[in-house]
Amino acid sequence: MLRDPREVSLMGRRMKQGLVIASALLLLSSGSASAMGDKELARAMAKRSGLSVEQAEAALAAFKSVVVTQVKSGDAVRLKGFGKFTMQERKAHTGRNPRTGEKMTIPARNVLRFKPFQAVKEQLNPKQ
C-beta separation of 125 from 98 below 8 A: no
Give the domain ranges of the chain: 5-124
pLDDT greater than 60 at residue 28: no
25, HSE (Cβ side, Cα atoms, 13 Å): 17
Q: Which residues of 24-39 are buried (b: 16+ CB within 10 A; e: fewer)?
A: bbbeeeeeeeeebeee
Average pLDDT, the chain: 84
| Beta pairing partners, 115 | 84
Q: Phi/psi of residue 119, each to 5°?
A: -60, -40
> Residue 127 — very low, low, confident or very high, per pLDDT cuts 50/70/90?
confident
Output the pTM of the full model.
0.66
3 state SS of 84: strand
**pLDDT tens sequence across 78-92:** 999 999 999 999 999
Domain 5-124 -> CATH class: few secondary structures
**pLDDT tens sequence across 41-77:** 999 999 999 999 999 999 999 999 999 999 999 999 9
93-96 and 103-106 strand pairing: antiparallel
